Amino acid sequence: MSDKPKVFPTAEQIAAANQTGAEIAQEQEQTITSGQVSGGEASAAAEMARRTQEQLRLREEALRNSEKLKEEELINQDVAGAALNPKTVVQPHVMKSPMENLKKEVRVDNSLAISELSQPQMNQPYDIIPLPSEGKLYKNKKSRVKVSFLTAADENILTSPNLLESGDFLEILLSRKVLEPELRYKDLLPGDRDAIMIWLRATGYGEMYPVTILDENDKPFDTEVDLTKLKVKQLPVEPDADGLFSFTLPVSKSTVKFKLLTIGEIDELEKLAQFLKEENNLINTEATLLLESQIVDIDGIREKSYISDFIENMRIMDSKKLKAYMADINCGIDMNITFGTPGGGSVTRFLPFTLKFFWPDFEL
């Protein structure tokens, strides 16, 4: 509680004072009108009553002015306090701390900037390149897409530290270069994305890509890869009219229909898997999450709850065979390259992607 004296009268005190003054004036007036006093006394009493009424009026006016000053003082204190100690309005159930609010605002700003940078550059020269999937799994069924060449403006993106650290540069770059409004970066299959990325690098910085490989004795050596000579892997099995693939489980004999995941679907799956891992780090749910993301039909039933229960209770042999078959149904660029070693032998290695891919002048 505050120890400051109460310099302003309360409303009760004002009312009591007014009542007392009014009663005194009334009594004086009754005394005068009753004729119990002389003329001089009556005149004096009347003057006293008038002065009393005037004093009451002045006091009430003074009290009203005091109340007004008090309100203005409180308002000024609130304004000054708000200026010196600004409050941060936090939306309920959105963020847990001011720092997280700041991160959210930055993410919103970044998403707007990314959206602007990711617009297709329709006015640029382009070429038409084939997709490993032949467009069989896309709604437009296009087997070839228009892709514009890298320009000096694109190099601003490639050399932006903020974009590189955020990991958004590849999405921005390919969204700018693929000139198909109905087919955006996150709609692409990973294999088609890789084919476009390799084409951009080969036409922008040259087809020879320097890499460091381990020989048969695990000793590193430098060599080059001709990106135009990489083999294309097409879909080994034809999808149905809905872009789905079928597999009969060896134990239960149920027929499963599944799809291949796009870049956007894979991103969402990884986020969900990370969230569940943080919530419960004792159980790894990635295996069942992957199946739930890909399977869309079991024996003609497409209810998600049914599919989820079926996957949870699937026999381990069925699960292993299904996942192996799913892994074989893919398309893209064959990244397994056979390299000749300095000792005259050869090794087969997965093509490494280093800073030299989009930054050939970078010194490691």
318 and 344 both lie in a single domain:
no
180 and 222 both lie in a single domain:
yes
Residue 273 has pLDDT above 60, yes or no: yes
- In a domain, residue 135? The reply is yes
128 and 60 both lie in a single domain:
no
What is the total count of domains within the chain? 3
192 and 272 both lie in a single domain:
no
122 and 199 both lie in a single domain:
yes
Task: Find the range with the poorest average confidence among 2-6, 16-20, 208-212, 258-262.
Answer: 2-6
298 and 224 both lie in a single domain:
no
Mean pLDDT of 5-21: 47
| Cβ-Cβ contacts under 8 Å for 105 (sequence gap 6 or more) | none
pLDDT at 116: 74
Q: Residues 66-109: pLDDT tens digits?
A: 565 555 555 555 444 444 444 444 333 333 333 334 334 444 45
- In a domain, residue 360? The reply is no
Residue 293 has pLDDT above 50, yes or no: yes
| Structural domain harbouring 229 | 99-233+340-350
201 and 345 both lie in a single domain:
yes
Mean pLDDT of 32-57: 58
346 and 216 both lie in a single domain:
yes
Mean pLDDT (the chain) is 78
Better-predicted residue by pLDDT, 69 or 4: 69
Residue 49 has pLDDT above 70, yes or no: no
Q: What pTM, to 2 d.p., does this model score?
A: 0.67
- In a domain, residue 32? The reply is yes
229 and 269 both lie in a single domain:
no
pLDDT at 47: 64
- In a domain, residue 72? The reply is no
pLDDT at 100: 39
To the nearest whole percent, how much of the chain has pLDDT over 90?
48
Mean pLDDT of 273-286: 75
110 and 192 both lie in a single domain:
yes
Residue 208 has pLDDT above 60, yes or no: yes
Mean pLDDT of 115-140: 88
113 and 60 both lie in a single domain:
no
- In a domain, residue 149? The reply is yes
- In a domain, residue 357? The reply is no
- In a domain, residue 242? The reply is no
130 and 189 both lie in a single domain:
yes
- In a domain, residue 148? The reply is yes
Q: Residues 157-172: pLDDT tens digits?
A: 887 777 776 677 888 8
